[in-house]
Amino acid sequence: MTFKEITQRFAQSESGSDSFKQFYKDAFQLMKQDPANAGLYFVVGIAAQTYVIKYEDQEVAPEFADRVKATLESFNSRLLAALDMAPAERLKALGEVAVDYEWNEDAF
| Mean pLDDT for all residues in the chain | 97
Average pLDDT of the residues in 68-84: 98
pLDDT in tens, 15-56: 999 999 999 999 999 999 999 999 999 999 999 999 999 999
pTM here?
0.95
Average pLDDT of the residues in 3-24: 97
32-71 burial, b for 16+ CB within 10 Å, e for fewer? Answer: eeeeebbbbbbbbbbbbbebbeebeeeebeeeebeebbeb
